[in-house]
Chain A
Amino acid sequence: MNDKKTEINSKEANIALESIRRSEKSSLQQSMPPSWLGIAISIIVGVLVFLIAAGLRDYYFLPIIALPIIIAMQRSKMKVSARVPTTNKKTVIALIGLIVIMIGLIFAGIYARSLYGTMTGPITCSLIATLIVYWMSISERNEHQKKIDQVIR
């Protein structure tokens, strides 16, 4: 059936292409990660960095439990899931870089706490961690928006 040659004119083809563009755009809009998710994840990461740097071991479990709950909540609300591009070198390097930065911030926080004996260091490091993750979520949303704007074949 699909091999059957069917004649359609350019006007009909144009209408079909327009319909495809509209649908693809709508799908991409639906798969846009919500802004609250970026805010929530950045706060949770910030709290985790603060707790570790401040040595508050009794509370480590809070952000560790909160993170999967937030992700599960988001997944159950979404009616679509975006296509995940195959892992490339750039993504792996960015992920390793992020982990290194977070570990660096934790050690910087621990060092500042032991040096000055106050919580200023851990708080500052957690704020930096929060801002980095938030900036990443904004970048992700911007990339997604670019993809939506570029739905031109």
Chain B
Amino acid sequence: MNTPQFNSIIHAPNRLQICSLLAPLEDAEFQLIRDQLGVSDSVLSKHIKQLEDAGYVMQRKEKVNGRQRTWLYLTKIGRNAFEGHVAELMRIVEASVF
């Protein structure tokens, strides 16, 4: 379990969804994340850029049948930051119960 730490980069609703979609996976296609979030390519790119700048997400491009596919995945730092953020959210919820 990671140290609970609130992360304002991850906490933004769309970025939180991106991280939680990627967390249980090795990688996921850009299109799928976009459809799950219900946002445009440019909006998703903007959020991915912010996560990339923080070193949390990386992109991998692959050409399949002449079509370019972009895959996204959480880096080790990103995974730790996400786990820490989730731990902090859980701590806040638990603290309010007791």
Whether A28 and B90, one on each chain, are in contact in the complex, defined by CB atoms closer than 8 angstroms, is: no
Min Cβ gap B59→A in Å is 15
Tell me, yes or no, whether B27 is within 8 Å of chain A by CB. yes
Whether B93 and A26, one on each chain, are in contact in the complex, defined by CB atoms closer than 8 angstroms, is: no
Tell me, yes or no, whether A31 is within 8 Å of chain B by CB. yes
Which A1-53 residues have C-beta < 8 A from chain B?
1-6, 8-10, 13-14, 16-17, 19-21, 23-24, 26-28, 30-31
Give which listed residue, A17, A27, A83, A84, contacts B21 with CB less than 8 A: A27
Tell me, yes or no, whether A79 is within 8 Å of chain B by CB. yes
Q: How far is the CA of A76 from the CA of B64 in the complex (A)?
A: 7
Whether A6 and B21, one on each chain, are in contact in the complex, defined by CB atoms closer than 8 angstroms, is: no
Whether A24 and B23, one on each chain, are in contact in the complex, defined by CB atoms closer than 8 angstroms, is: yes
Min Cβ gap A28→B in Å is 5
Band of interface residues on A? 20 to 34
Q: How far is the CA of A82 from the CA of B28 in the complex (A)?
A: 9
Whether A2 and B86, one on each chain, are in contact in the complex, defined by CB atoms closer than 8 angstroms, is: no
Whether A81 and B25, one on each chain, are in contact in the complex, defined by CB atoms closer than 8 angstroms, is: yes
- Specify the chain A residue showing the minimal Cβ separation from B37: A23
Min Cβ gap B98→A in Å is 11
Give which listed residue, A5, A10, A81, contacts B92 with CB less than 8 A: A10
Residues of A within 8 A of B5 (CB): 2-3
Residues of A within 8 A of B10 (CB): 2
What are the 10 tightest A-B residue pairs by CB atom distance, in nearest-first order?
Answer: A10-B96, A23-B20, A13-B92, A79-B32, A79-B29, A20-B20, A13-B89, A80-B28, A81-B26, A2-B7
Query: What are 18 contact pairs spanning A and B, CB under 8 A?
Result: A3-B5, A5-B6, A6-B6, A9-B92, A10-B96, A13-B90, A16-B16, A17-B90, A20-B89, A24-B23, A26-B36, A27-B21, A27-B23, A76-B65, A80-B28, A81-B28, A83-B26, A153-B86
B residues within 8 Å of A by Cβ? 5-11, 13, 16-17, 20-29, 31-32, 36, 54, 64-65, 81, 86, 89-90, 92-93, 95-97
14 extra A-B contacts, CB within 8 A, seeds A9-B96, A19-B13, A19-B16: A2-B5, A2-B8, A2-B9, A13-B89, A13-B90, A23-B17, A23-B36, A26-B21, A27-B24, A31-B24, A31-B25, A79-B32, A83-B24, A153-B86
